Structure 1
Protein backbone atom coordinates (compact mmCIF):
# COMPACT_ATOMS: atom_id res chain seq x y z
CA UNK A 1 0.00 0.00 0.00
CA UNK A 2 1.24 3.48 -0.87
CA UNK A 3 1.50 5.50 2.34
CA UNK A 4 3.81 8.37 1.33
CA UNK A 5 2.66 11.87 0.39
CA UNK A 6 2.22 12.38 -3.35
CA UNK A 7 4.97 14.40 -5.02
CA UNK A 8 3.93 16.68 -7.87
CA UNK A 9 5.95 16.39 -11.07
CA UNK A 10 7.81 19.61 -10.27
CA UNK A 11 8.81 18.29 -6.82
CA UNK A 12 9.96 14.97 -8.28
CA UNK A 13 12.10 16.96 -10.71
CA UNK A 14 13.54 19.03 -7.87
CA UNK A 15 14.34 15.84 -5.96
CA UNK A 16 16.09 14.45 -9.03
CA UNK A 17 18.10 17.66 -9.45
CA UNK A 18 19.28 17.28 -5.85
CA UNK A 19 20.77 13.91 -6.75
CA UNK A 20 22.45 15.37 -9.83
CA UNK A 21 24.20 18.22 -8.00
CA UNK A 22 25.51 15.95 -5.24
CA UNK A 23 27.58 17.57 -2.51
CA UNK A 24 27.45 21.00 -4.16
CA UNK A 25 23.77 21.35 -3.28
CA UNK A 26 21.09 23.58 -4.83
CA UNK A 27 21.06 27.24 -3.87
CA UNK A 28 17.98 28.73 -2.29
CA UNK A 29 16.05 31.27 -4.34
CA UNK A 30 15.76 29.35 -7.61
CA UNK A 31 12.48 28.67 -9.41
CA UNK A 32 12.25 25.26 -7.72
CA UNK A 33 12.54 26.87 -4.27
CA UNK A 34 8.94 26.10 -3.27
CA UNK A 35 9.49 22.44 -4.17
CA UNK A 36 12.76 22.31 -2.25
CA UNK A 37 10.98 23.76 0.77
CA UNK A 38 8.21 21.15 0.42
CA UNK A 39 10.84 18.41 0.14
CA UNK A 40 12.47 19.77 3.28
CA UNK A 41 9.13 19.66 5.08
CA UNK A 42 8.78 16.02 4.08
CA UNK A 43 12.29 15.21 5.32
CA UNK A 44 13.56 14.49 1.81
CA UNK A 45 15.90 17.50 1.66
CA UNK A 46 17.57 19.83 4.12
CA UNK A 47 18.76 23.42 3.98
CA UNK A 48 22.41 23.63 4.99
CA UNK A 49 23.97 26.51 6.89
CA UNK A 50 25.50 27.79 3.63
CA UNK A 51 22.01 28.33 2.18
CA UNK A 52 22.07 25.33 -0.17
CA UNK A 53 19.69 22.38 -0.21
CA UNK A 54 20.95 18.80 -0.14
CA UNK A 55 19.18 15.48 -0.35
CA UNK A 56 18.69 13.46 2.83
CA UNK A 57 18.95 9.71 3.26
CA UNK A 58 15.15 9.54 3.12
CA UNK A 59 15.25 11.62 -0.07
CA UNK A 60 17.74 9.25 -1.64
CA UNK A 61 15.50 6.30 -0.80
CA UNK A 62 12.40 8.07 -2.18
CA UNK A 63 14.29 9.01 -5.35
CA UNK A 64 15.28 5.39 -5.85
CA UNK A 65 11.76 4.09 -5.26
CA UNK A 66 9.76 6.72 -7.15
CA UNK A 67 12.02 8.11 -9.83
CA UNK A 68 14.41 5.26 -10.54
CA UNK A 69 11.69 2.69 -9.73
CA UNK A 70 13.99 0.65 -7.50
CA UNK A 71 12.48 -1.42 -4.76
CA UNK A 72 13.51 -1.01 -1.15
CA UNK A 73 15.86 -3.61 0.28
CA UNK A 74 13.72 -3.77 3.44
Structure 2
Protein backbone atom coordinates (compact mmCIF):
# COMPACT_ATOMS: atom_id res chain seq x y z
CA UNK A 1 0.00 0.00 0.00
CA UNK A 2 1.29 3.45 -0.94
CA UNK A 3 1.47 5.60 2.20
CA UNK A 4 4.02 8.27 1.26
CA UNK A 5 2.91 11.84 0.57
CA UNK A 6 2.37 12.59 -3.10
CA UNK A 7 4.90 14.87 -4.78
CA UNK A 8 3.63 16.99 -7.66
CA UNK A 9 5.73 17.07 -10.83
CA UNK A 10 7.01 20.54 -9.92
CA UNK A 11 8.13 19.29 -6.49
CA UNK A 12 9.91 16.27 -7.97
CA UNK A 13 11.74 18.62 -10.35
CA UNK A 14 12.65 20.95 -7.46
CA UNK A 15 13.93 17.98 -5.44
CA UNK A 16 16.06 16.89 -8.41
CA UNK A 17 17.54 20.39 -8.81
CA UNK A 18 18.26 20.46 -5.08
CA UNK A 19 20.07 17.11 -5.25
CA UNK A 20 22.09 18.33 -8.23
CA UNK A 21 23.13 21.41 -6.24
CA UNK A 22 24.95 19.18 -3.75
CA UNK A 23 26.04 20.26 -0.29
CA UNK A 24 25.72 23.96 -1.11
CA UNK A 25 21.98 23.62 -1.63
CA UNK A 26 19.78 26.18 -3.39
CA UNK A 27 19.21 29.77 -2.33
CA UNK A 28 15.82 31.03 -1.27
CA UNK A 29 14.00 33.50 -3.49
CA UNK A 30 13.77 31.26 -6.55
CA UNK A 31 10.61 30.10 -8.32
CA UNK A 32 10.75 26.69 -6.67
CA UNK A 33 10.53 28.11 -3.12
CA UNK A 34 6.90 26.94 -2.64
CA UNK A 35 7.87 23.38 -3.56
CA UNK A 36 10.99 23.41 -1.41
CA UNK A 37 9.01 24.81 1.52
CA UNK A 38 6.35 22.12 1.10
CA UNK A 39 9.05 19.44 1.07
CA UNK A 40 10.68 21.07 4.09
CA UNK A 41 7.44 20.47 5.96
CA UNK A 42 7.54 16.82 4.81
CA UNK A 43 11.13 16.40 6.04
CA UNK A 44 12.75 15.98 2.60
CA UNK A 45 14.40 19.42 2.69
CA UNK A 46 15.91 21.54 5.46
CA UNK A 47 16.65 25.24 5.68
CA UNK A 48 20.31 25.98 6.36
CA UNK A 49 21.46 28.84 8.54
CA UNK A 50 22.75 30.64 5.46
CA UNK A 51 19.34 31.04 3.85
CA UNK A 52 19.59 28.06 1.54
CA UNK A 53 17.61 24.86 1.15
CA UNK A 54 19.51 21.58 1.52
CA UNK A 55 18.33 18.02 0.97
CA UNK A 56 17.93 15.69 3.97
CA UNK A 57 18.64 11.96 4.10
CA UNK A 58 14.90 11.37 3.68
CA UNK A 59 14.96 13.62 0.62
CA UNK A 60 17.88 11.73 -0.87
CA UNK A 61 16.01 8.46 -0.40
CA UNK A 62 12.82 9.87 -1.93
CA UNK A 63 14.80 11.30 -4.86
CA UNK A 64 16.34 7.88 -5.50
CA UNK A 65 13.02 6.05 -5.54
CA UNK A 66 10.73 8.61 -7.15
CA UNK A 67 12.97 10.61 -9.48
CA UNK A 68 15.75 8.16 -10.33
CA UNK A 69 13.33 5.18 -10.11
CA UNK A 70 15.72 3.07 -8.04
CA UNK A 71 14.35 0.29 -5.88
CA UNK A 72 14.22 1.12 -2.14
CA UNK A 73 17.01 -0.30 0.00
CA UNK A 74 16.01 -3.42 1.88
CA UNK A 75 17.91 -2.49 5.02
CA UNK A 76 20.65 -5.08 4.60
CA UNK A 77 23.53 -5.87 2.32
CA UNK A 78 23.90 -9.27 0.62
Indicate the TM-score class for this superposition, using the shorter chain for normalisation: over 0.9
Tell me whether 1:54 sits opposite 2:54 in the alignment: yes
Unpaired stretches in structure 1, ≥5 consecutive residues: none
Q: Distance in 2 between matches of 1:57 and 1:6?
A: 18
Q: Distance in 2 between matches of 1:73 and 1:21?
A: 23
Q: Distance in 2 between matches of 1:49 and 1:59?
A: 18
User: Which TM-score applies when normalising by structure 1?
Assistant: 0.96
The Cα RMSD (Å) is 0.6
Deviations 1:34-64 (A, max 9, x none): 0000010000000000000000000000000
Q: Distance in 2 between matches of 1:73 and 1:40?
A: 23
Larger-Rg structure: 2
Q: Which residues in structure 2 correspond to 1:18-37 (within 5 Å)?
A: 18-37=18-37
Unpaired stretches in structure 2, ≥5 consecutive residues: none
User: Which TM-score applies when normalising by structure 2?
Assistant: 0.92
Following superposition, which runs of at least 4 residues in structure 1 exceed 4 angstroms of deviation?
none
Instruction: State the partner residue of 1:5.
Output: 5
Instruction: State the partner residue of 1:72.
Output: 72
